[in-house]
């Protein structure tokens, strides 16, 4: 069984998959039900759909078709609501309004909450995690449009330096009543953390509905309780990078997120990664090709896995210590692997 490991220019990173899903359960739109769910009572009921432009899945144990259909409809409605907060590409989202106008008054509480968490991870990783890199991302996307550039050397250094002046998460004012940029032309992307936040949100809502055995995959994975077929938890396949076989781990009441340099690339040759170093304005070169982080929340795991590719092993090791029980599975650019664990 292989995970999704083929790099494609300007496609979204996705190097983490549920091992059972990789066996042949295709993603389908909206509320389409899996064959098992269509039969009625099943050990696991599944929903497949789209969230923030990527495939998503929810698995619930010990419920019937009718109950699952109602619950999944409510969860899909919540996903759509959160997309109107975090989507970078919906013109009606709160994030799009912030980027367009440079400020947003009375922002959605979810936006303030996520930005506060992002700021905490920004500090913990010595600035490696920085949502304000969006102007840089736009510069690269424009430069490599059509795939007609081969390497990042094609970018003029003065252009990178100019756009770097529009970055800096410390220049973003975050308060419940207002979020604003200190400089015109700034913009945020939450693509390195919003999937984790939505995963946590849906998982929490399902727990409030009384479910105990849950797996939610909205770009990142949160697992609660047990897979009825594997009572020790939920088995997940990690494939951080261009490898045919990844590591298998069992999650129980934890979350995992994966980032890889080759997950999205700007050029046809897949040499110019979408993970940009906010300090240099260039694609990250930390010695890591991929990172999977396990933490108590998918939000934290998402942010740390993104930061890992920028900051490297030493800073990541210190950052993990701030999150009890966190661990990271790393793939280095030389092909070797490492595992880091929080000391607490």
For residues 171 and 167, give the distance between their C-alpha atoms in angstroms, rounded to a whole number: 8
Which residues of the chain register pLDDT less than 50? 1-41, 242-244
Is position 306 annotated in a ligand binding site? yes
301 part of a folded domain: no
Is position 159 annotated in a ligand binding site? no
DSSP secondary structure letter of residue 34? P
Rg, the chain, Cα only: 20
124 part of a folded domain: yes
- Beta strand 103-105 with 178-181 is antiparallel
pLDDT (0 to 100) of residue 43: 76
176 part of a folded domain: yes
Q: Which residue has the tokens 């595992």?
A: 339
Rounded to the nearest 10°, the torsion over CA 97, 101, 102, 108 is: -30
- Contacts of residue 143, Cβ cutoff 8 Å, sequence gap at least 6: 149, 154, 155, 266
218 part of a folded domain: no
pTM of the model: 0.86
153 part of a folded domain: yes
- Contacts of residue 225, Cβ cutoff 8 Å, sequence gap at least 6: 61, 212, 213, 214, 252, 253
Each residue of 208-266: pLDDT tens digit?
999 999 999 999 999 999 998 887 899 998 875 544 457 889 999 999 999 988 767 77
Is position 287 annotated in a ligand binding site? no
**Of 330, 259, 257, 252, residue with least CA distance to 294:** 257
Summary count for the chain: helices (H), strands (E): 8, 14
Total domains, the chain: 1
290 part of a folded domain: no
Q: Give yes or no for a contact between 270 and 13, defined as CB atoms under 8 angstroms apart.
A: no
Q: Which residue has the tokens 């945020």?
A: 188
157 part of a folded domain: yes
Each residue of 89-117: pLDDT tens digit?
999 999 999 999 999 999 999 999 999 99
Which CATH number do you get for residue 116?
1.10.3980.10
307 part of a folded domain: no
Range of the domain at 137: 94-181
pLDDT (0 to 100) of residue 10: 32
């Amino acid at each position: 069984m292989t995970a999704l490991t083929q790099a494609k220019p300007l496609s979204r990173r996705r190097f983490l998959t549920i091992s059972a899903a990789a066996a042949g359960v295709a993603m389908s739109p909206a509320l389409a039900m899996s064959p098992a769910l269509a039969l009625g009572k099943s050990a696991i009921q599944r929903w497949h759909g789209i969230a923030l432009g990527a495939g998503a899945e929810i698995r619930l144990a010990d419920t019937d078709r009718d109950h699952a259909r109602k619950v999944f409809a409510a969860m899909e409605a919540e996903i759509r609501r959160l997309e109107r907060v975090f989507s970078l590409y919906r013109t009606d989202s709160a994030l799009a309004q912030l980027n367009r106008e440079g400020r947003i008054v009375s922002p959605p509480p979810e936006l303030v909450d996520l930005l506060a968490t992002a700021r905490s991870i920004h500090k913990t990783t010595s600035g490696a995690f920085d949502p304000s890199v969006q102007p840089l991302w736009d510069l690269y996307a424009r430069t490599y449009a059509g795939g007609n550039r081969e390497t990042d050397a094609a970018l003029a250094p003065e252009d990178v330096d100019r756009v770097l002046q529009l970055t800096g998460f410390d220049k973003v004012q975050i308060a419940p009543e207002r979020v604003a940029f200190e400089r015109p032309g700034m913009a945020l992307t939450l693509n390195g953390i919003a999937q984790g936040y939505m995963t946590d949100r849906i998982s929490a809502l399902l727990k409030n509905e009384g479910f105990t055995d849950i797996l939610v995959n909205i770009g990142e994975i949160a697992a609660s309780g047990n897979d009825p077929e594997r009572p020790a938890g939920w088995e997940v396949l990690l494939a951080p990078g261009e490898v045919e076989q990844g590591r298998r781990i069992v999650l129980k009441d934890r979350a995992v997120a994966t980032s890889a340099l080759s997950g999205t690339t700007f050029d046809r040759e897949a040499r110019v990664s979408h993970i940009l170093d906010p300090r240099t304005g260039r694609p990250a070169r930390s010695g890591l090709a991929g990172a999977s982080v396990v933490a108590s929340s998918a939000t934290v795991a998402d942010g740390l896995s993104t930061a890992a590719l920028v900051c490297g092993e030493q800073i990541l090791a210190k950052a993990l210590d701030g999150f009890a029980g966190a661990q990271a599975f790393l793939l280095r650019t030389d092909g070797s692997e490492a595992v880091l664990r929080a000391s607490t």
